Homo-oligomer: A and B are copies of this chain.
Amino acid sequence: MIIVLKPEVTKEQQIQFSEMLKENYDVKVNVWNGVHSTVLGLLGDTTQIDIEYIDAQDIVESVKRVQEPYKKANRKFHPENTVIDLGNGLKIGDGSLQIMAGPCSVESEEQIVEIAKSVKKSGATLLRGGAFKPRTSPYAFQGLKSQGLDLLKIARKETGLPIVTEIMRSSHIDMFESVDIIQVGARNMQNFELLKELGKIDKPILLKRGLSATIEEWLMSAEYIMAGGNSKVILCERGIRTYENFTRNTLDISAIPIVKKLSHLPVIVDPSHASGKSWLVEPLAMAAVAAGADGLIIEVHNDPPHALSDGAQSLTPEQFDRTAKKILNLKQSLNS
């Protein structure tokens, strides 16, 4: 951490401040006296230092971190990729490509089992489906809730596909015990109370990026889960909010290589929510794979016009089959 002091700061103030820093944070402080200003360089573990606290000091002009504020999620301190083992040979983060597919909302046993079988045949390796749905309007369909979870388990039994589904409050964690991957939605990325609770369990967490979260904030939210002891975090880029409103969100394709560089955690992409339009799912999925994503999560519905939520962005099983083939071919050619 580098701290630039204001021009008018006295020698005495500078010494006092340096002493405070050494005492409170167990860091070394190097002083460099310029003509116009004095610069302090802090050595040691500065992740514990609140940059805003330093910035608030009367005598401080500006502060700059040299180290990232996250530790457990940081590739510097954990150079090898985190690989998440889902059993049965299914791994996320090992260089393979996992495709999670399924409807936005679970609607009935027939629906979810049919889709599960269909996407499995097309190449999906996990089943996604919403039981609890975060909806902008209180009057919109909110999901089948615990019944939806039961239906997902039936579909898993029928197909062997592990299941991914979203949690919305920490008091539901018990209900999610037999879920394979628990998803945290974009709107809850900074629901810190929920993240803390998920840090206490031993289950993979799919952490979606917030609508307007920076990559650093996203990694800090992963850090919340990891700080509690759960290191099985999968990051999911799902589009960010920008001024462009042709698409619902703007897929930040750069996030994939950036996360790969800054962190050791796996990162997947959700082209369905990123675009909000079914005809954009395939080109965005292709781009994500070419950019190095560890997986994809794609909405598939047997009858998109009658989907109870997010129909506009769902593929039909036939469309998914064609898209999955292209994606898997691309992945193969990249590997060869």
Contact A216 B246 (CB under 8 A): yes
Contact B251 A280 (CB under 8 A): no
Given contacts A212-B243, A242-B242, A284-B291, 7 further A-B contacts (CB under 8 A): A34-B43, A57-B305, A62-B66, A138-B192, A138-B196, A242-B250, A254-B284
Residues in A lying within 8 Å of B, measured CB to CB? 2, 4, 28, 30, 32, 34-37, 39, 41, 43, 47-48, 50, 52-53, 55-58, 61-62, 64, 66, 69-70, 134-141, 168-171, 187-188, 190-194, 196, 211-212, 214-217, 220, 223-224, 227-228, 240-247, 250-254, 256-258, 261, 274-275, 279-280, 283-284, 286-292, 304-305, 307-314, 329-330, 333-334
Closest to A139 in B: B48
CB < 8 Å: which of B35, B62, B227 contacts A139? B227
The CA-CA distance from A212 to B250 in the complex, in Å, is 13
Given contacts A64-B64, A192-B134, A288-B287, contact A53 B250 (CB under 8 A): no
Contact B251 A247 (CB under 8 A): no
Contact B217 A136 (CB under 8 A): yes
- 8 pairs across A/B with beta carbons < 8 Å? A4-B66, A56-B304, A136-B220, A250-B250, A253-B253, A286-B291, A329-B333, A330-B333
Pairs of residues from A and B, 9 with the lowest C-beta to C-beta distance, nearest first: A56-B311, A212-B212, A290-B290, A333-B333, A287-B287, A56-B312, A187-B190, A286-B290, A257-B283
* A254 / chain B contacts, CB cutoff of 8 Å: 246-247, 250-251, 274-275, 280, 283-284
Given contacts A39-B2, A61-B66, A275-B254, contact A168 B140 (CB under 8 A): no
* A69 / chain B contacts, CB cutoff of 8 Å: 137
Closest beta carbon of chain B to A149's beta carbon, Å: 16
Contact B34 A30 (CB under 8 A): yes
Given contacts A2-B2, A227-B139, contact A250 B245 (CB under 8 A): no
CB < 8 Å: which of B35, B55, B215, B256 contacts A283? B256
Closest to A42 in B: B34
Contact B279 A283 (CB under 8 A): no
Closest to A246 in B: B215
The CA-CA distance from A206 to B314 in the complex, in Å, is 35
Given contacts A32-B41, A39-B32, contact A223 B137 (CB under 8 A): yes
- Point out which of A37, A244, A257 has the most chain B C-beta atoms below 10 A from its C-beta: A244
Closest to A37 in B: B66
Closest to A17 in B: B305
Contact A244 B240 (CB under 8 A): yes
* A217 / chain B contacts, CB cutoff of 8 Å: 136
Closest beta carbon of chain B to A235's beta carbon, Å: 14
Contact B257 A227 (CB under 8 A): no
* A257 / chain B contacts, CB cutoff of 8 Å: 279-280, 283-284
Contact A311 B34 (CB under 8 A): no
The CA-CA distance from A258 to B257 in the complex, in Å, is 23
CB < 8 Å: which of B50, B187, B245 contacts A141? B50
